[in-house]
Every structure is written in C-alpha cells, then in structure tokens.
Amino acid sequence: MLRENRVRRALQKGETVFGTMVQEMRTPSVAQALAAAGLDFLMIDLEHGAFDLETVADICQVARLAGIVPLVRASDHGYPWLARPLDVGAMGVMVPRVESRAQVEELAQMVRYPPAGRRGCAVTLRQTEFSRVPVQEWIAWANAETLFIAQIEERSAIEEIEGIVSVPGVDVALIGPNDLSISLGVPGQVDHPIMQEAMTRVVEAAARHGVASGLHIADLSTLRAWQGRGMRFLMYSNEVGLMRQAAEQAARTVRG
C-alpha cells in the first residue's frame, strides 16, 4: 500500500501542519499516542536522540498505520543517513546544519529517484506496507510523497537563504532557534532583534519561492506568533516535554 504524505500535500495547498519531536521514547506506541492526540507528524531525532535504525523502523511502521506522518531528523549529511531512514519507512527527512545552495542541491538529490535525484532504488516492504509495487509506480510515488526539510541553524544559511529555498525539491525551511542564535552571537535569545531579523528573512524568502517555513521550539506563544507571520510547519517541544507539561499541570491541580 502506498500512503499519501498528508503533511506534504497540506503544505502544497498552503495549509499549516503541527507536530513534535521524538527524542527519548523508544516504544512504537509513542506514534499511536501522538496520532490519537491529533498531531499531523512526528519527527524522530537521529541527530541528538539515542535511536537505532530498528527502532526507527518500528516507530515509522506504527505511525503509518495510526495515521500520523513519520519524519526523521538525519544525524549527518552523508547519503546513508538520509536514504536508510526512508528505506525503513520514514516519509521525509530533515537535514540539520545546512549552509549553502550547493550543499542543499546535493542533499535534495539523495532523497529522490532519477530523474529528479539519485537515490538508490529500494522497494522495501516496510515502505510499501508489504504490498507488491512495480518499480516505475514506486519511483513516481516516492518522488511525489517524500518530504525534504532543510534546517536553518547557521549564519551562513541566513546569508544564502534565497539560494537554499530556491533549490528544486526543498519543501520546508525550518529554523532551529538554539543553534541559530548561537551562530548569530546571541545564544538562547530568540526575541533578540538579530534573531528576529534572521527569522523574518527565512519566512519571506521561503514564501517567495513557494516553500513552507517553520520553527521547532518549546514555547507555544512564540510558535503561534510566528504562525501569524507566515510559518506553516510548526513543531512544538518533544514527547518528554509534552508528558512533563501535562504531569506538572496535574500535580499542581491535585496539590492545590
């Protein structure tokens, strides 16, 4: 079975999507829980999380069945770090620390099949949910449904943002505010004028090129504010942060 990537389709229609990062919980049922909560996507963190590929495969499989789109933040820029998560069931990848148009051109080629890219063909059963799919049909589906996210975390990426978001195949430019603020010399100060200017540049450049802009942050008011300024790929906190937030609220209520 070839499933539609509802997140990519929604973004292409100009809609907004909402999800969270998964960094700690290695049980596939985390996907069911987040789907039941009404989230559009989950992002499995291979850059900072402690997951192996088998765990990624299991979470992605359950996510697909539960109706939430499984995405992966790659651990690095090499071909295996992008292609293998897709081969085990991820429906898109986010690449951290991108810096230039030339770099993003190469990375975007890795996640799509010829003629749009140069990904090696792997009609794996997890991707097709154990259905037999002709290669030609598979290639067309994968190229149409795979989401590619460039994570904007470096001063150099801000300086070359027009080039980055104009690369064919880039669907989302997502700001990583901690690393970006460090790179800009204002660590942790998301509200600093330097950060505000940089983030605005990303939103405006992305809009000019038909790319969705986004933000991953653990502050809902900030996320909502940037949604009002045009961001459409909204990622809030992580699964542990959501659990802790609910637990703290319950504890305060019970204890008065």
**Assigned domain for 242 exists:** yes
Nearest to 30 by CA among 70, 1, 2, 3: 70
Rounded CA separation 145/131 (Å): 17
Would you state the pLDDT for residue 51? Answer: 95
- pLDDT > 70 in the chain, percent: 100
203 band by pLDDT with thresholds 50, 70 and 90: very high
Rounded CA separation 44/75 (Å): 11
Would you state the pLDDT for residue 132? Answer: 86
Total domains, the chain: 1
**Assigned domain for 122 exists:** yes
- pLDDT > 90 in the chain, percent: 93
133 band by pLDDT with thresholds 50, 70 and 90: confident
**Assigned domain for 113 exists:** yes
Rounded CA separation 140/144 (Å): 6
The residues, any chain, with a CB within 8 Å of residue 85's CB and separated by 6 or more, are 44, 46, 53, 56, 60, 72, 74, 93
**What is the separation, in whole angstroms, between the first and last Cα of the chain?**
51
**Assigned domain for 152 exists:** yes
> For residue 17, what are the CA distances in angstroms to 93, 188, 212?
16, 25, 10
SS3 30: helix
pTM reported for the whole predicted model: 0.96
Structural domain range at position 13 = 6-255
φ, ψ (nearest 5 deg) of residue 14: 85, 15
126 band by pLDDT with thresholds 50, 70 and 90: confident
Q: Is the dihedral of CA 73, 75, 78, 81 positive or negative?
A: negative
> For residue 141, what are the CA distances in angstroms to 133, 212, 245, 250?
10, 21, 38, 44
Would you state the pLDDT for residue 244? Answer: 96
pLDDT tens readout for residues 66-87? 999 999 999 999 999 999 999 9
**Assigned domain for 176 exists:** yes
Host H or E run for residue 6: helix 6-12
**Assigned domain for 1 exists:** no
130 CB neighbour count, 10 Å cutoff: 10
Would you state the pLDDT for residue 64? Answer: 96
Tokens standing for 87?
């081969």
| CATH label of the domain that carries residue 98 | 3.20.20.60
Average pLDDT over residues 97-106: 97
> For residue 198, what are the CA distances in angstroms to 86, 148, 201?
31, 21, 5
